[in-house]
Amino acid sequence: MLIAYFAVKDALVETDSKTAKYNAGELVATLAKVENNLMTDSQKKLWEENVAKLKTDAENIGKTDDVEMQRIHFEGVSNALFLIISSFKANTATVYQQFCPMAFNNKGGAWLSDKKEIRNPYFGDKMLKCGSVKQEF
Protein backbone atom coordinates (compact mmCIF):
# COMPACT_ATOMS: atom_id res chain seq x y z
CA MET A 1 0.00 0.00 0.00
CA LEU A 2 2.69 2.47 0.97
CA ILE A 3 4.65 1.94 -2.24
CA ALA A 4 1.54 2.66 -4.32
CA TYR A 5 0.68 5.65 -2.10
CA PHE A 6 4.20 7.10 -2.41
CA ALA A 7 3.91 6.87 -6.20
CA VAL A 8 0.73 9.00 -6.09
CA LYS A 9 2.42 11.48 -3.74
CA ASP A 10 5.49 11.76 -5.95
CA ALA A 11 3.34 12.43 -9.02
CA LEU A 12 1.53 15.22 -7.16
CA VAL A 13 4.86 16.69 -6.05
CA GLU A 14 5.70 16.86 -9.77
CA THR A 15 2.22 18.30 -10.55
CA ASP A 16 1.80 15.38 -12.96
CA SER A 17 -1.94 14.66 -12.98
CA LYS A 18 -1.68 11.91 -15.59
CA THR A 19 0.81 9.89 -13.55
CA ALA A 20 -1.12 10.60 -10.32
CA LYS A 21 -4.25 9.28 -12.03
CA TYR A 22 -2.50 6.08 -13.13
CA ASN A 23 -0.82 5.53 -9.76
CA ALA A 24 -4.12 6.05 -7.94
CA GLY A 25 -5.49 3.13 -9.98
CA GLU A 26 -2.53 1.06 -8.83
CA LEU A 27 -3.31 2.02 -5.23
CA VAL A 28 -6.95 0.93 -5.64
CA ALA A 29 -5.77 -2.39 -7.09
CA THR A 30 -3.39 -2.85 -4.15
CA LEU A 31 -6.18 -2.16 -1.65
CA ALA A 32 -8.28 -4.87 -3.27
CA LYS A 33 -5.51 -7.40 -2.58
CA VAL A 34 -5.28 -6.73 1.16
CA GLU A 35 -6.28 -9.80 3.14
CA ASN A 36 -7.59 -9.27 6.63
CA ASN A 37 -7.37 -12.87 7.83
CA LEU A 38 -4.13 -12.17 9.74
CA MET A 39 -5.43 -8.96 11.32
CA THR A 40 -6.47 -8.81 14.93
CA ASP A 41 -10.08 -7.93 15.66
CA SER A 42 -9.15 -4.34 16.46
CA GLN A 43 -7.09 -4.08 13.25
CA LYS A 44 -9.99 -5.48 11.20
CA LYS A 45 -12.33 -2.91 12.74
CA LEU A 46 -9.92 -0.04 12.01
CA TRP A 47 -9.35 -1.34 8.47
CA GLU A 48 -13.08 -1.60 7.79
CA GLU A 49 -13.69 1.89 9.21
CA ASN A 50 -11.08 3.47 6.92
CA VAL A 51 -10.70 1.40 3.75
CA ALA A 52 -13.88 2.71 2.11
CA LYS A 53 -12.73 6.34 2.46
CA LEU A 54 -9.25 5.40 1.32
CA LYS A 55 -10.59 3.57 -1.73
CA THR A 56 -13.14 6.25 -2.64
CA ASP A 57 -10.59 9.05 -2.50
CA ALA A 58 -8.04 7.01 -4.48
CA GLU A 59 -10.70 6.26 -7.11
CA ASN A 60 -11.58 9.95 -7.27
CA ILE A 61 -7.93 10.84 -7.93
CA GLY A 62 -8.09 8.39 -10.82
CA LYS A 63 -11.25 9.96 -12.24
CA THR A 64 -9.90 13.46 -12.85
CA ASP A 65 -7.10 15.20 -14.67
CA ASP A 66 -7.51 18.27 -12.44
CA VAL A 67 -4.43 18.21 -10.21
CA GLU A 68 -6.06 20.49 -7.61
CA MET A 69 -8.98 18.06 -7.24
CA GLN A 70 -6.51 15.20 -7.06
CA ARG A 71 -4.73 16.98 -4.21
CA ILE A 72 -8.00 17.41 -2.31
CA HIS A 73 -8.71 13.68 -2.58
CA PHE A 74 -5.09 12.89 -1.75
CA GLU A 75 -5.58 14.51 1.63
CA GLY A 76 -8.39 12.02 2.34
CA VAL A 77 -6.18 9.14 1.23
CA SER A 78 -3.35 10.44 3.42
CA ASN A 79 -5.50 10.81 6.53
CA ALA A 80 -7.07 7.35 6.22
CA LEU A 81 -3.76 5.68 5.44
CA PHE A 82 -2.09 7.43 8.38
CA LEU A 83 -4.67 5.99 10.76
CA ILE A 84 -4.16 2.51 9.36
CA ILE A 85 -0.37 2.53 9.11
CA SER A 86 0.26 4.15 12.49
CA SER A 87 -2.08 1.67 14.21
CA PHE A 88 -0.83 -1.46 12.47
CA LYS A 89 2.87 -0.65 12.80
CA ALA A 90 3.53 -3.06 9.94
CA ASN A 91 5.90 -0.96 7.86
CA THR A 92 9.47 -2.21 7.67
CA ALA A 93 11.06 1.16 6.82
CA THR A 94 10.66 4.55 8.46
CA VAL A 95 7.63 6.56 7.36
CA TYR A 96 7.40 10.29 7.97
CA GLN A 97 4.16 12.14 8.56
CA GLN A 98 4.68 15.61 7.14
CA PHE A 99 2.48 18.68 7.37
CA CYS A 100 2.09 21.93 5.47
CA PRO A 101 0.22 24.62 7.43
CA MET A 102 -0.53 26.61 4.26
CA ALA A 103 -2.31 23.84 2.33
CA PHE A 104 -6.02 24.19 1.64
CA ASN A 105 -6.26 27.93 2.34
CA ASN A 106 -4.22 27.72 5.55
CA LYS A 107 -6.29 24.86 6.98
CA GLY A 108 -3.21 22.70 6.62
CA GLY A 109 -2.69 19.26 5.19
CA ALA A 110 -0.68 16.20 6.15
CA TRP A 111 0.84 13.45 4.03
CA LEU A 112 3.16 10.47 4.43
CA SER A 113 6.61 10.20 2.92
CA ASP A 114 9.36 7.65 2.68
CA LYS A 115 11.92 10.48 2.81
CA LYS A 116 12.61 12.95 5.60
CA GLU A 117 13.17 15.77 3.13
CA ILE A 118 10.02 17.80 2.50
CA ARG A 119 8.53 17.53 -0.98
CA ASN A 120 5.06 19.04 -0.76
CA PRO A 121 2.39 17.23 -2.83
CA TYR A 122 -0.19 19.97 -2.18
CA PHE A 123 1.82 22.75 -3.85
CA GLY A 124 4.36 20.97 -6.01
CA ASP A 125 7.01 23.32 -7.41
CA LYS A 126 5.10 26.40 -6.19
CA MET A 127 6.13 25.69 -2.60
CA LEU A 128 8.09 22.45 -2.84
CA LYS A 129 9.72 22.62 0.59
CA CYS A 130 6.82 24.08 2.58
CA GLY A 131 6.15 21.84 5.56
CA SER A 132 7.77 19.94 8.38
CA VAL A 133 8.05 16.43 9.72
CA LYS A 134 5.45 15.85 12.46
CA GLN A 135 6.11 12.18 13.24
CA GLU A 136 8.37 9.29 12.34
CA PHE A 137 7.20 5.72 12.59
Domain boundaries, the chain: 2-136
**Residue 91: strand, helix, or coil:** coil
Distance CA(15)–CA(119), nearest Å, equals 11
Helix axes 2-13, 67-88, angle to 10 degrees: 150
Distance CA(114)–CA(2), nearest Å, equals 9
Strands (E), the chain: 96-100, 109-113, 132-136
Helix axes 41-62, 67-88, angle to 10 degrees: 170
- pLDDT at position 38 is 84
Per-residue pLDDT of 82-137, as tens digits, reads 999 888 876 678 999 999 999 999 999 999 999 999 999 999 989 999 999 999 98
DSSP secondary structure code for residue 16 in this structure: -
Report pTM: 0.94
